Structure 1
Amino acid sequence: MTGPDIQPRVRTLPDALRLRGGEQADRTAYVFLRNGEEPHETLTYGELHEAAVLRAGFLAGAGLARRSALLLYPSGLEFVRALLGCMYARVAAAPVQVPRRRSEVTRLRRIADDAGTTIVLSTSEVIRELRERFGDLPALAGLTLIATDDPGLAPAGVGTIAVEGPEPEDIALLQYTSGSTGDPKGVMVSHANFLANVVETDALWPCGDDATMVNWAPLFHDMGMLFGVVLPLWAGVPSYLMAPDAFVRRPARWLEALSRFGGTHTAAPSFAYDLCVRAAAEGKAAGVGDLSRWRVAVNGAEPVRWATIQSFAAAFGPHGFDGRAMCPGYGLAENTLKATGSPQDREPVALWVSAGALSEGAVRPAAPDTPGAQALVASGITALDTQVRIVDPETRQECPAGRVGEIWITGPCVASGYWGRPDTSEEVFRARIAAEPGLPGAASDSATTFLRTGDLGFLYAGELYVAGRRKDVIIRKGRNHYPQDIELTAERSAPGLRPNCAAVFSSEDGVRERLIVVVEADGRVLNLLGARGLRARVEDAVRQEHRIAADDVVVVRRGTVPKTSSGKVQRHACRWLYEEGTLTSVTEAPVREVPLATGVGGEAR
């Protein structure tokens, strides 16, 4: 049974699991790959239904129904059991990353406080490690840690939970945004939101009976959860899961799993495709087999680079990868996830525009070989009932064609707001487009409300193009500079720099706004160039390509730049570290002469 087959009988995700657990009990639902390679644990729909109902009974018996709880799990099948158990029991689950540093324990506590809960669900092993490593921290005081993999879990209340289940408007999830130093905000995602998003996703990128999902993205992150857990359950297709660390340590494992298990659908940020290209260039992807079954490679969660798309197709075309499978998309937690996407079986689309005009908020197409031309990748189209508008963030009037504005979204995937933040929710989730002066229909009369994404973009030939975050834009001499463009220039300024290694932001010094570029470098790059030499290359490249001078270029060790769970650079967190003086610059290292040749990091300058 495909998703469309069960749609008339399903109102919530537990409905889908109950149906498949009854009619497809022995069919494989999820497989966890040990080290990202070999099957270690498998769940059928029948086994998952029984396990979820058991956990739901325990949660209901503990008085947690209609309350919230944190989910603190590594990637694995116990996360799936606990998530569905919470959904059965009407517990608003808030997935959180397992802490590895003391600062992450503080964030965990901030999320618990924001969600209004002291209950943390996890595995026995994680709880033991948490107490051993961080038991002295005040942030853990008062939290009740419950191991859902305890074999003595009480089954009280199982029958009632299994029959009733949640309503479509019940909160299925509190998806906490990847905040930096500010207070975390929990997006209230309902069961109706989840179903609407998977229905739209399946309409845009159909699964069918023969689909197989492969996912390494963190399951507590919206992308990993939707493509690793939710969409496979809706579509009734197997999902092969691996831990993010397994991918990061050896990116080719992701592609090897796709070839070994016949993967058809997967999703990842753009940097993941870059890492695979790098692995191929270094001869570390020899184990990748046939990729001809791969038909949907969703590319999102950060700016999608045209060079990345071309390089990936060139590197893995010999393995059977069809370039039409690359599907750039745009989404965010506040819209459950996907908002737009490029249809499969179509080559990705790039629009070459004048970078100078774009800096002034205008979209002016240009020939690729025109000086100052810049390639922007289309993030595709909406599906079914979702709509996108481009709106002037100041006047709240819809932008004319050819202008950059804020991306606004309306439709059934838009969540109801942020948990416990009614004023912010009203501002962000229930915005209205203002009428143009002199035309009938005041803003207050508009019945359609929109989600304000905070992202800048434009529509061209019916497709969405994303230009960057509104709050991240750097304004210098009346021109807008998008940090992701400067970051790409920095990454390409010297051979050996890795993808996603730079953070660009502005910082006030009390007199003026300063442009700061932070660049990560490993020992190989530093031994070749030295910190001073690398800074000079970055400064020259930024000045030449963007006609703007960096006020400070900070070279740091690899792993220093803060990133979200999906690998996206956290510019605000990096700026905070910079302004606090806690970013440790690399001291000078021995320098050897470096030939001016193209390296993995991009073109030499």
Structure 2
Amino acid sequence: MVAKDNKTNFPYQFSQNTQSSPEKIAFTFLKDNQELIDISYAELMKKISGVSRVILESTKPGEPIVLLYSSGVNFIVAFIACLFTDRLAIPAYPPINCSAVTRLENIIKSAKPALILSEELILKNLKKIPYIKYLLFPYVKKRVLRSFHVPENIGFLFEKVSRMIATDALTDEKIYTDFNNIKGCAFIQYTSGTTASPKGVMISHENIAHNLHLIREAFNIHSESKGFIWLPPYHDMGLIGGILVPLYHRFPVILTSPLNFIKNPNIWLESISKYRATISGGPNFAYNLCNQRTREELLSTLDLSSWEIAFCGAEPIHAETMNRFVQKFKPCGFKPSALVPCYGNAESTLIVSSTHHDEDLKVVSVNREGLSNGQVILSDSPGSIQVVDCGRPLMNVKIASTETGEFLAENQVGEILISGYSVTSGYWNNPEKTASTFKKAVDGDRYYHSGDVGFLVDGKLFITGRINDLIIIGGCNYFAHEIESIVNSCSPEIRSGATVAYDASIGGANQLFLAVEVKHEKMEHYADLTRQILLAVNKNLGISAQEIFLLKPHTILKTTSGKLQRRQTAQFIVDHPEQILYRYSNQLEQHERTPGNFSKQQEVNEISHRKRTSTEIESALIDLINENFSQLLTCKPNTLLTSLGLDSIMYIKLLSSLKQKLLIDFEVTDLLVDKNQTVHTLALEIARLAQVRKRIQRLDELPKIQNLLARHAQLVDHKYDSLFMRAFDGPSDSTLILDGKTYLNFASYNYLGLSNTPGMKEFIKTQIDRYGSSVSASRLVAGNRILTEQLEHELAAFVGYPDAIVYTAGYQTVISTITHLFGQGDAIIYDELAHNSSLLGSYYSGAELHTFKHNNPDSLEEKLKILADKFEKVLIITEGVFSMDGDIAPLDKIIALKKKYGCFLMVDEAHSLGVIGETGRGIIEYYKQSPQDVDIVLGTLSKAFASCGGFVCASKQLIQYMKFSAPGFVFSAGISPANSAAALYALSCIKENPQFMQQMQQNADYFLGQLTALGLNTGSSRHTPIVPIIIKDSNKTIEASYRLFCQGIYAPPIIAPGVTEDQARIRFFITALHQREQFDFCVNKLTEIMTLLK
């Protein structure tokens, strides 16, 4: 045990090393050009002293300091200087991209640092910019990004931290340290997960000293030890294991940037061989990269005989990876005993357990079923799980029941609990998380409850996973019960609550497996049912199942309380194949290109440009599909690709296999737009792309343009083109004039009928006389007007927000807002029926996208359970009134979930402001909620406000930020005076004349009641002016709309591909101007075409 005094802490020991061996090389830094930079202990101490002096002048003892450095000498100097001056160092990734900045912003919000230390390269350009908002100008932004590596969302640094100092050139001869006063917390290690609430682990000087001694014992560090480290210094393995260990125990180490390893993984092994390193290591993925990328010609040049400790940790260790590494590099002198699997975490400073430095890799095969039952049964039987030995615990480690908390004996599986001097005190500024994670166990002692699951065998620790039972497919997490719920709802033939979802590794990648009990043993239905399951999972989650087992009733295993036993069931199926009624297996493989065969590939590329007929392509597609999906259906030219349940990856594999099979060349991504096509139409499209791609010289020859023109020609043939893009005469009231004929108008958003009133027109004319027809500039410069600002102030006050911003168009408003406030590192969850502008804005933002079922809070919560703690920011998007269905979002329940999971909420009120709520103030008023609970309200001015444009209501700070930085606002001319005036007048009418909204609502209720009485499907429309007739057939829908048009009623059709076929409809917009006799006339004409409507 390390003595609890200051003479064992890092600053004291480092100082002693400097005094005894000032000229000894402390470390060597290997630059990306292979240049070596040696730094002696004396040189390092001078640099540390220079930074220490600045820290002492700028901060108080115990204050946090964020370190923003590239990987190298400057970071090490600043970190040790913080330790020497009793300040809390906070290592952070340098702000070289927007994702890193978002994470940094969360760290700064949590830590509230007194100072930022960094480098000239990072701070140089920032100090020239008084307000980061000016980064929006392209020439500045490009210069900053290219020359100084500073992303555009770095601006918060100016708001959150007042002092930033570059330390590159600081030195001093004097040592500014009082070793007697160095105590308590040394630094804050923010864990690597990208969460909305980052956890800052408080690591003390005592923790560090204790763990450094544990590592010396575990790794057998001696006078001839020499390290090579490429790990990031911002996290515990690279910082403590790679930097502090050699500096504390005074042995040489060569450091290099992790970017050098990522660019060229071979640099790791080449450097160990060249510089004769004895200690080096990394996570499992690094060893796997070496397995994959080290070619035979390099093996003959490597000498790894000096490598004594090849530590591996920080992520799950795979037995297959370790065994392959040993076998591959053993001929290079690598000793099997050098491989040292470890287990650790930041909450325990770094290392918790490690195998002995002179024993070979140990892997145990454990019975899967026993493991699922919490028992370790060693077994070499097929289906057993291989688990890597992580060595004997170096601290007090207990295995505890996840249900009762009782300590378990060896060969039993439970949560790993850790106690000892290396276990930290908790999380910075997070007492709730600290209390729930660092707590007393049944013996009364305080333990870190790790959330990791494992077991002990012969005193050695084995890790099996995490407590949460997640299924990970393609790097994404899915809850098993979510997948099971989707499958259970597929068909009445599936037994309720008798589906299990689980994953298994196939070819090194996790794949989804489904076991499903069916009610009746009807062989002829199995392929159909399997296809339904594939389609449902693919539609809802975008993934595909590798295997599906249809089982006899009562095969699925459950506990006595009815809980599904997933892993036990998986093993039971293997052991009892007689319970399987039908088995589906996806065999689609993508052939990998042989590395290095460039001349052959060039030959292929030349051949690929010869023409292939659509018939040849169609035949090849059918062969490929039948080879891989013959269990589900026999593919024919008219088979829909969606009937195969292909996810995007499988779709790409199919098309890639086709390219290789026929030696043709086309862009796969051009065919990802529409999977809702037949094999025949896909073959035609591929043939067209493969033949003309390299010969297109005019944009109007593009296939997508030709396809649209062909579809329009079909409309012309049936005279349906009269329903679209007609130039009407007169205003958009309850009637329209076309070619001198009057039509009833059910296609107008003029809900309150204000756009053509005498008062409206007079007010607009007055404002045009004052302001002219256009503002003729961006509002940031000369395009701002008093009239526009008045509109913004009154809009904000009407909706209940401090401020508002007005754009020239509603579509532009939504896209600009989403893309400017959210991006990589964030998640956006939107209602599946959200407007196209929300979908496109979310897509363009670069955030990870997810949908929830329409107006379904349960579906939203299922997504939030998975996503809320995994992203920097999570945005929920919904609408007040949905423009396609005329239904209202359950905002009260969405707000409750927003608060519960700490997310942001954006509501599109385009069709709800001026339409619902007691005084027309939209959905927030409708549900009697507080505007403070909705972060962003936005909408358009073209509906109830009888104008054109868009607006955002939010906090004053957010609106100010957008006015000075949102590209869609800054680089666009301001809204015209006429449109500002129209919206301002409409707003005053809404406030002063509630009868407009009341009349509209009465009209909508009347018309909806008439349609309901006819037995027509009006969907979920209630209390809104949007009333659809859902026909579920595009051909019938367009014909019905055309017949109404011929009778003088204009109600345009909504058909595929604008909506799915089963949602084809005629949509009626109701206004305050409509009269009862107009509704009655329309209903009368609808009765004449009832055969088309039902």
TM-score interval w.r.t. the shorter chain?
A: 0.7 to 0.9
Question: How far does residue 10 in structure 1 lie from its aligned partner after superposition?
Answer: 2.8
Find the partner of 2:392 among 367, 377, 381.
381
Question: How far does residue 145 in structure 1 lie from its aligned partner after superposition?
Answer: 5.6
For 1:344, the equivalent position in structure 2 comes to: 357
For 2:326, the equivalent position in structure 1 comes to: 313
For 2:241, the equivalent position in structure 1 comes to: 227
Question: How far does residue 12 in structure 1 lie from its aligned partner after superposition?
Answer: 1.3
Q: Could you give the per-residue CA deviations for residues 52-110 of structure 1, whole angstroms, max 9, x where no partner exists?
A: 12211110011243200111111111111111111111110110111332232122111
For 1:193, the equivalent position in structure 2 comes to: 207
Find the partner of 2:336 among 317, 323, 338.
323
- Radius of gyration: which is bigger? 2
Q: Distance in 2 between matches of 1:492 and 1:331?
A: 28
Question: How far does residue 120 in structure 1 lie from its aligned partner after superposition?
Answer: 1.6
Find the partner of 1:171 among 182, 185, 197.
185
For 1:412, the equivalent position in structure 2 comes to: 421
* Letter in structure 1 aligned against 2:51: R
Find the partner of 1:399 among 379, 391, 408.
408
Are 2:499 and 1:490 aligned?
Answer: no
**2:200·2:428 contact (CA, 8 Å) conserved in 1?**
yes
Question: How far does residue 183 in structure 1 lie from its aligned partner after superposition?
Answer: 1.0
Find the partner of 1:450 among 447, 451, 455.
447
For 2:177, the equivalent position in structure 1 comes to: 162
Residues 518 and 18 from structure 1, CA distance in 2 versus in 1: closer, same or farther, beyond 3 angstroms?
Answer: farther
For 1:300, the equivalent position in structure 2 comes to: 313
**2:11·2:179 contact (CA, 8 Å) conserved in 1?**
no
Are 2:256 and 1:242 aligned?
Answer: yes
Q: Residue 351 of structure 1 aligns to a residue in which SS?
A: strand
Residues 479 and 256 from structure 1, CA distance in 2 versus in 1: closer, same or farther, beyond 3 angstroms?
Answer: farther
Residues 271 and 71 from structure 1, CA distance in 2 versus in 1: closer, same or farther, beyond 3 angstroms?
Answer: same
Question: How far does residue 49 in structure 1 lie from its aligned partner after superposition?
Answer: 1.7
Q: Could you give the per-residue CA deviations for residues 254-279 of structure 1, whole angstroms, max 9, x where no partner exists?
A: 11111111111112001101111112
Q: Could you give the per-residue CA deviations for residues 453-483 of structure 1, whole angstroms, max 9, x where no partner exists?
A: 0101111121111011212545568999887
**1:268·1:298 contact (CA, 8 Å) conserved in 2?**
yes
Find the partner of 1:432 among 436, 441, 448.
441
Residues 218 and 460 from structure 1, CA distance in 2 versus in 1: closer, same or farther, beyond 3 angstroms?
Answer: same
Residues 553 and 322 from structure 1, CA distance in 2 versus in 1: closer, same or farther, beyond 3 angstroms?
Answer: farther
Question: How far does residue 428 in structure 1 lie from its aligned partner after superposition?
Answer: 0.9
**2:202·2:424 contact (CA, 8 Å) conserved in 1?**
yes
**2:96·2:151 contact (CA, 8 Å) conserved in 1?**
no
Give RMSD over aligned pairs: 4.1
Q: Could you give the per-residue CA deviations for residues 147-168 of structure 1, whole angstroms, max 9, x where no partner exists?
A: 44343x4869x55x33446534
* Letter in structure 1 aligned against 2:370: A
* Letter in structure 2 aligned against 1:140: L
Question: How far does residue 229 in structure 1 lie from its aligned partner after superposition?
Answer: 0.8
* Letter in structure 1 aligned against 2:389: A
Structure 2 unaligned regions, length at least 5: 128-143, 145-149, 472-479, 482-496, 513-535, 547-588, 595-600, 605-619, 632-644, 653-822, 827-865, 878-1094
Q: Could you give the per-residue CA deviations for residues 279-312 of structure 1, whole angstroms, max 9, x where no partner exists?
A: 22x3473585321111100011111111111111
For 1:75, the equivalent position in structure 2 comes to: 71
* Letter in structure 1 aligned against 2:20: E
Residues 402 and 202 from structure 1, CA distance in 2 versus in 1: closer, same or farther, beyond 3 angstroms?
Answer: same
Q: Distance in 1 between matches of 2:459 and 2:502?
A: 23
Q: Distance in 1 between matches of 2:261 and 2:252?
A: 20
Q: Distance in 2 between matches of 1:193 and 1:449?
A: 15
Find the partner of 1:121 among 117, 126, 130.
117
Q: Could you give the per-residue CA deviations for residues 202-253 of structure 1, whole angstroms, max 9, x where no partner exists?
A: 1111111000011111000110012221110121001111111111111110
Aligned pairs (5 A) from 1:571-590:
none
For 1:598, the equivalent position in structure 2 comes to: none
User: TM-score, normalised to structure 1's length?
Assistant: 0.76
What is the percentage of aligned positions where both structures have the same residue?
27
Q: Distance in 1 between matches of 2:590 and 2:116?
A: 37
**2:25·2:39 contact (CA, 8 Å) conserved in 1?**
yes
Find the partner of 2:399 among 375, 390, 393.
390
* Letter in structure 1 aligned against 2:177: A
Residues 487 and 106 from structure 1, CA distance in 2 versus in 1: closer, same or farther, beyond 3 angstroms?
Answer: farther
Residues 478 and 305 from structure 1, CA distance in 2 versus in 1: closer, same or farther, beyond 3 angstroms?
Answer: farther
Q: Residue 35 of structure 1 aligns to a residue in which SS?
A: coil
Q: Distance in 1 between matches of 2:219 and 2:545?
A: 37
Aligned pairs (5 A) from 1:513-532:
none
Question: How far does residue 113 in structure 1 lie from its aligned partner after superposition?
Answer: 1.6
**2:196·2:869 contact (CA, 8 Å) conserved in 1?**
no
Q: Distance in 2 between matches of 1:67 and 1:166?
A: 14
Are 2:8 and 1:11 aligned?
Answer: yes
Are 2:48 and 1:52 aligned?
Answer: yes
For 2:136, the equivalent position in structure 1 comes to: none
Are 2:151 and 1:134 aligned?
Answer: yes
**1:404·1:457 contact (CA, 8 Å) conserved in 2?**
yes
For 2:1025, the equivalent position in structure 1 comes to: none
Are 2:103 and 1:88 aligned?
Answer: no
* Letter in structure 2 aligned against 1:345: D
**2:341·2:391 contact (CA, 8 Å) conserved in 1?**
yes
Residues 59 and 390 from structure 1, CA distance in 2 versus in 1: closer, same or farther, beyond 3 angstroms?
Answer: same
* Relative contact order, higher structure (CA 8 A, sep 6+): 1
**1:252·1:288 contact (CA, 8 Å) conserved in 2?**
no
For 1:275, the equivalent position in structure 2 comes to: 289
For 2:377, the equivalent position in structure 1 comes to: 364
For 1:566, the equivalent position in structure 2 comes to: none
**2:310·2:340 contact (CA, 8 Å) conserved in 1?**
yes
**1:122·1:145 contact (CA, 8 Å) conserved in 2?**
no
Question: How far does residue 562 in structure 1 lie from its aligned partner after superposition?
Answer: 8.0
Residues 165 and 80 from structure 1, CA distance in 2 versus in 1: closer, same or farther, beyond 3 angstroms?
Answer: farther
Q: Could you give the per-residue CA deviations for residues 345-379 of structure 1, whole angstroms, max 9, x where no partner exists?
A: 10011110112332333322111xx2211211011
Aligned pairs (5 A) from 1:436-585:
446-474=443-471, 486=505, 489-490=508-509, 555=649
* Letter in structure 2 aligned against 1:388: V
**1:36·1:247 contact (CA, 8 Å) conserved in 2?**
no
Q: Distance in 2 between matches of 1:165 and 1:478?
A: 65
Q: Residue 258 of structure 1 aligns to a residue in which SS?
A: helix
Question: How far does residue 179 in structure 1 lie from its aligned partner after superposition?
Answer: 2.1
Question: How far does residue 409 in structure 1 lie from its aligned partner after superposition?
Answer: 0.4
**2:24·2:41 contact (CA, 8 Å) conserved in 1?**
yes
Question: How far does residue 413 in structure 1 lie from its aligned partner after superposition?
Answer: 0.5
Q: Could you give the per-residue CA deviations for residues 392-411 of structure 1, whole angstroms, max 9, x where no partner exists?
A: 12311112333211000011
* Letter in structure 1 aligned against 2:122: V
* Letter in structure 1 aligned against 2:460: E
Q: Distance in 2 between matches of 1:212 and 1:372?
A: 42
Residues 73 and 478 from structure 1, CA distance in 2 versus in 1: closer, same or farther, beyond 3 angstroms?
Answer: farther
Find the partner of 1:290 among 290, 295, 303.
303
**2:208·2:349 contact (CA, 8 Å) conserved in 1?**
yes
Structure 1 unaligned regions, length at least 5: 434-445, 494-508, 541-550, 564-570, 583-605
Q: Distance in 1 between matches of 2:55 and 2:111?
A: 17
**1:335·1:415 contact (CA, 8 Å) conserved in 2?**
yes
For 1:441, the equivalent position in structure 2 comes to: none
Residues 428 and 463 from structure 1, CA distance in 2 versus in 1: closer, same or farther, beyond 3 angstroms?
Answer: same
Residues 329 and 240 from structure 1, CA distance in 2 versus in 1: closer, same or farther, beyond 3 angstroms?
Answer: same
Q: Distance in 1 between matches of 2:103 and 2:405?
A: 34
Aligned length: 515
Residues 575 and 225 from structure 1, CA distance in 2 versus in 1: closer, same or farther, beyond 3 angstroms?
Answer: closer
**1:360·1:480 contact (CA, 8 Å) conserved in 2?**
no
Question: How far does residue 118 in structure 1 lie from its aligned partner after superposition?
Answer: 4.8
Q: Distance in 2 between matches of 1:363 and 1:478?
A: 27
